[in-house]
């Protein structure tokens, strides 16, 4: 059964970031988070609030995509850690944050939403190469 978009939902109103890849069920976007290069979101296309609102096959597809994003981040960006988060408290629309972390980033070891512990380093990250590798990996399935 199709779910109607919520006009108050920012993830229904627009892509939510730079569109990297999409299919009929989800999209992968690069978030505008300069202190955390490579910060990526996997967003379900339909407006649903919880993972259990999705059919099992849809949950599998979503998580397969989240894991693919994580694998490309590890291979291309070489972070010290990857954070996966699905909160939805502010935006109750199913989406996953896939966040590469480095020990010297602004908030480490806290969540990226915590107050900064230090200034963000001038990290040189090949985001364009990451986006290209991500598109190739996701297109390959």
Would you kindly state where each structural domain of the chain is located, as residue ranges? 10-140
Ranking 2-6, 60-64, 78-82, 125-129 by mean pLDDT, the lowest is: 2-6
CA distances from 139 to 33, 69, 87, 92, 133 (A): 25, 12, 27, 28, 10
- C-beta separation of 35 from 105 below 8 A: yes
Task: Name the band, by pLDDT with cuts 50, 70 and 90, for residue 1.
Answer: very low
What's the pLDDT tens digit per position in 103-113? 999 999 999 99
Q: What is the DSSP letter of 90?
A: S
Q: What is the pLDDT of residue 123?
A: 85
Model confidence pLDDT, tens digit, residues 27-82 = 999 998 989 999 999 999 999 999 999 999 999 999 999 999 999 999 999 999 99
CATH architecture designation of domain 10-140: 2-Layer Sandwich (3.30)
């Amino acid at each position: 059964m199709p779910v109607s978009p919520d006009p108050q939902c920012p993830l229904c109103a627009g892509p939510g970031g730079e569109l990297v890849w999409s299919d009929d069920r989800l999209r992968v976007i690069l978030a505008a988070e300069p202190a955390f290069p490579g910060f990526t979101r996997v967003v379900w296309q339909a407006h649903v609030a919880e993972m259990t609102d999705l059919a099992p096959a849809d949950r599998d597809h979503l998580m397969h995509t989240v894991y693919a994003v994580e694998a490309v981040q590890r291979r291309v960006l070489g972070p010290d850690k990857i954070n996966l988060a699905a909160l939805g408290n502010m935006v109750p629309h199913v989406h996953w944050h896939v966040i590469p972390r480095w020990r010297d980033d602004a908030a480490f070891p806290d969540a990226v939403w915590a107050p900064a512990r230090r200034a963000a380093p001038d990290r040189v990250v090949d985001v364009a190469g990451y986006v290209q590798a991500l598109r190739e990996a996701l297109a390959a399935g």
